[in-house]
C-alpha cells in the first residue's frame, strides 16, 4: 500500500506541482475564487471524478466523487487567499506584486495536497477493485468566511464516514488541539452629515459612534475570559473630508472564545456597548452578522491512525539549497520572532522544547503525538465539519522555522521545493490513512464509536443564522 501511494505521487509529482502553482498565481479572496475553483473542478474531472458545482448555494464550492457505496471518506481542500499578502515567490525580501492578494496561509498547497491524496486513494481502490466512495470537497472562504460552516449548515457533509485534511506550517505534527469558536459581525452606524465648522451642532457623527464603541470594547477586554479574543477593523470611516461630519461609518468585529455559547455571551455584551455608542451620538445602529464557526473536536482514534501513517511516510533531509534559503528568511525575522519561533508550531500541535532544531532552520522530524487539551489561539471552519463527521488534521512542514502564517515570508515560500515536499508528505499520509479506513473495518468502527459517544453527550447547533448568506469581500 505504502509503495503504491509513493509511486503514484512520484509519477504525478510535476503535474500536482503545476496545480499548486496555478492556484498560487491566481490568488482570490473569500467566495471569489472563481478561477481557482473552476480549475480544480476541471482537473478533478480529468482524473475521473464526478463533479458537482455550486454546492450549498456557494458559487465556488464543489464536490468531486469517485466510487459508490460505503464507506465514504472525504478530503477537505481549500484554495482561498488573503488580501494584502501579495509577494514574489522564492524571494528573501518583501516584494509585493501588482495584485495585492497572496497565499499567505499556503492554501494553494493545502488544496492540492488534499486533492493529491484523493487521487492516490482513488487509484488504489480502482486497481484493487475495493468498494467505497472517495469524496474531495472544494471548500471556499476559509479565510474570514467560514465556508465549511455554511456547507455544514446546508447538509453538504451528510453521509460522510470520516474526513481528513492538513495545513502548511513550519511543523510536522498532528493538529490535536481544539480551536476557538468565533462570530464575525458588522456594526454599522448612520448619522447626519453637516458642515463640521459652520453647523457642527446639526450633525450626528457615525464615526464618533464607531470610536466610542471601540473604546467601550477595549474596556470590556479586562472583563472577559482569559482565552477569549476581540479583534476589530474599521471598514468605513465615513470619507476623507474632515470638514464634514461623517454620516456613515462601520466597524467589523471578530469575537473568539473556546465555545460558541461563550462567544455568544461576549457578543451580547459587545452589542450593548454598540447600542450605548449609538445612544451617545444619536445615531442609528444596524448589526449585520457576517459569519461564524464552532470549536474543533479532535477524533483521537483517527489522529492516532494519521500519526502512525505520518511516521510511516517520514521526513526527508532538507537539501543544501533549501537550508540556505531558510537561513536567509530567518534573518528577516525580528529578534522576538526568532526567540519565540516555536510559538507558530505549538499552535499546530508540536510537542517538544525545540532541542531537536538546534542549529537548524527547517524541521526534519515529526513531533511526538499525544492527545492535547490545549486550545489553538485561532479558528478554523474545519471545526464545524468535526461536529458532524469524525475528522483529523495534520500539519506538514512547508516553511522555515519561525515562519508565521499570514506574512509575506509564508507567501514567498509557497512554491518552493521544500513546500512541495511537505505537500506530498501530507498527501501520502492522508491517502494511507484513508486506505486503512477502506480496508480495515475495525479502524473505521473505532473512529465512529468515539464520535458517536461524543455526539450523545454534546448537541450541535450551527452557529450561522439561517438567513445569513456567504458574502464576498468586494461587496463590502
E strand or H helix at 429: helix 417-439
Count CB atoms within 10 A of the CB of residue 440: 12
Residue 153 buriedness (CB in 10 A; 0-12 / 13-18 / 19+): middle
Q: Is 60 exceeded by the pLDDT of residue 413?
A: yes
**Mean pLDDT, all residues of the chain:** 97
Q: Average pLDDT in the 322-338 region?
A: 97
Q: Rounded CA gap, 101 and 281, in Å?
A: 37
Q: Which residues of 178-202 are buried (b: 16+ CB within 10 A; e: fewer)?
A: bbbbbbbbbbbbbbebbeeeeeeee
Q: What is the mean pLDDT of residues 320-333?
A: 97
The string of pLDDT tens digits covering residues 122-170 is 999 999 999 999 999 999 999 999 999 999 999 999 999 999 999 999 9
Full-prediction pTM beyond 0.85? Answer: yes
pLDDT of residue 474: 63
- Provide the β-strand partners of residue 397: 169
Between strands 82-83 and 162-169, the pairing is unpaired
Q: How far apart are CA 92 and CA 328, in angstroms?
A: 6
Distance between CA 291 and CA 433 in Å, rounded? 32
- Cβ atoms 135, 75 nearer than 8 A: yes
DSSP H/E element including 255: strand 248-257
Topology of domain 181-293, CATH: Alpha-Beta Plaits (3.30.70)
Residue 21 neighbours by CB distance under 10 Å? 16
pLDDT at 476: 52
Q: How confident is the model at residue 99 (pLDDT cuts 50, 70, 90)?
A: confident
Q: How many other CB atoms are there within 10 angstroms of residue 377's CB atom? A: 14
10 Å CB burial of residue 52 (0-12, 13-18, 19+) is middle
Tens of pLDDT, residue by residue over 18-37, are: 999 999 999 999 999 999 99
CB 295 within 8 A of CB 258: yes
Distance of CA 309 to CAs 428, 436, 445, Å?
8, 10, 18
Q: What is d(CA 188, CA 234) in angstroms, rounded to the nearest whole number?
A: 10
Please give the Cα distance from 407 to 397 (Å, whole number): 16
pLDDT range class, residue 475, cuts 50, 70, 90: low
Nearest Cα to Cα of residue 189 among 232, 103, 250: 250
Q: According to the CATH classification, is domain 2-179+295-457 in 3.20.10.10?
A: no
Portion of the chain with pLDDT greater than 70, in percent: 99
* pLDDT class of 245 with cuts at 50, 70, 90: very high
- Domain ranges across the chain: 2-179+295-457, 181-293
Q: Which residues contact 437 (CB under 8 A, 6 or more apart)?
A: 71, 73, 161, 162, 305, 443, 444, 447
Q: How far is CA 34 from the centre of its chain?
A: 18
Cα separation of 34 and 22, whole Å?
13
Amino acid at each position: 500500500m505504502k509503495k503504491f501511494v509513493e509511486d503514484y505521487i512520484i509519477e504525478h509529482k510535476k503535474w500536482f506541482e503545476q496545480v499548486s502553482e496555478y492556484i498560487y498565481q491566481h490568488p482570490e479572496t473569500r467566495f471569489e475564487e472563481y478561477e481557482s475553483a473552476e480549475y480544480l473542478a476541471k482537473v478533478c474531472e480529468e482524473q475521473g471524478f464526478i463533479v458537482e458545482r455550486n454546492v450549498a448555494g456557494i458559487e465556488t464550492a464543489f464536490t468531486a466523487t469517485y466510487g459508490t457505496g460505503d464507506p465514504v471518506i472525504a478530503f477537505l481542500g481549500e484554495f482561498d487567499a488573503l488580501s494584502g499578502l501579495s509577494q514574489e515567490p522564492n524571494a528573501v525580501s518583501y516584494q509585493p506584486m501588482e495584485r495585492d492578494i497572496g497565499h499567505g496561509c499556503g492554501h494553494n498547497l493545502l488544496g492540492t495536497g488534499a486533492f493529491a491524496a484523493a487521487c492516490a486513494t482513488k487509484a488504489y481502490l480502482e486497481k484493487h477493485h475495493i468498494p467505497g466512495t472517495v469524496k474531495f470537497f472544494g471548500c471556499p472562504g476559509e479565510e474570514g468566511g467560514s465556508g465549511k460552516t455554511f456547507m455544514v449548515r446546508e447538509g453538504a457533509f451528510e453521509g460522510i464516514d470520516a474526513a481528513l485534511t492538513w495545513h502548511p506550517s513550519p511543523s510536522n505534527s498532528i493538529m490535536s488541539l481544539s480551536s476557538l469558536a468565533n462570530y464575525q459581525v458588522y456594526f454599522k452606524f448612520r448619522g447626519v452629515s453637516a458642515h463640521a465648522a459652520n453647523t457642527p451642532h446639526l450633525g450626528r457623527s457615525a464615526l464618533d459612534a464607531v470610536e466610542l464603541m471601540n473604546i467601550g470594547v477595549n474596556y470590556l477586554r479586562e472583563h472577559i475570559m482569559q482565552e477569549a479574543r476581540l479583534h476589530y477593523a474599521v471598514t468605513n470611516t465615513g470619507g476623507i473630508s474632515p470638514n464634514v461630519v461623517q454620516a456613515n461609518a462601520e466597524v467589523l468585529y471578530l469575537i473568539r472564545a473556546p465555545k460558541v455559547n461563550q462567544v455568544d455571551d461576549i457578543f451580547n455584551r459587545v452589542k450593548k456597548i454598540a447600542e450605548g455608542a449609538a445612544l451617545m451620538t444619536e445615531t442609528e445602529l444596524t448589526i449585520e452578522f457576517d459569519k461564524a464557526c464552532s470549536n474543533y473536536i479532535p477524533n483521537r482514534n483517527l489522529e492516532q491512525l494519521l500519526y502512525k501513517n505520518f511516521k510511516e511516510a517520514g521526513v526527508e533531509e532538507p537539501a543544501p539549497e533549501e537550508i540556505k534559503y531558510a537561513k536567509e528568511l530567518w534573518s528577516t525575522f525580528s529578534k522576538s520572532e526568532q526567540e519565540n519561533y516555536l510559538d507558530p508550531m505549538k499552535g499546530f500541535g508540536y510537542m517538544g522544547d525545540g532541542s531537536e532544531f538546534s542549529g537548524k532552520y527547517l524541521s526534519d522530524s515529526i513531533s511526538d503525538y499525544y492527545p492535547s487539551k490545549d486550545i489553538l489561539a485561532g479558528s478554523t471552519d474545519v471545526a464545524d465539519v468535526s461536529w458532524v463527521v469524525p475528522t483529523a488534521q495534520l500539519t506538514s512542514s512547508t516553511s522555515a522555522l519561525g515562519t508565521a502564517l499570514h506574512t509575506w515570508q509564508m507567501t514567498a515560500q509557497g512554491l518552493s521545493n521544500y513546500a512541495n515536499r511537505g505537500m506530498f508528505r501530507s498527501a501520502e499520509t492522508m491517502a494511507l490513512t484513508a486506505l486503512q479506513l477502506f480496508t480495515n473495518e475495525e479502524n473505521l468502527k473505532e473512529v465512529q464509536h468515539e464520535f458517536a459517544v461524543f455526539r450523545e453527550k454534546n448537541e450541535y447547533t450551527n452557529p450561522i443564522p439561517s438567513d445569513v448568506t456567504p458574502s464576498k469581500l468586494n461587496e463590502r
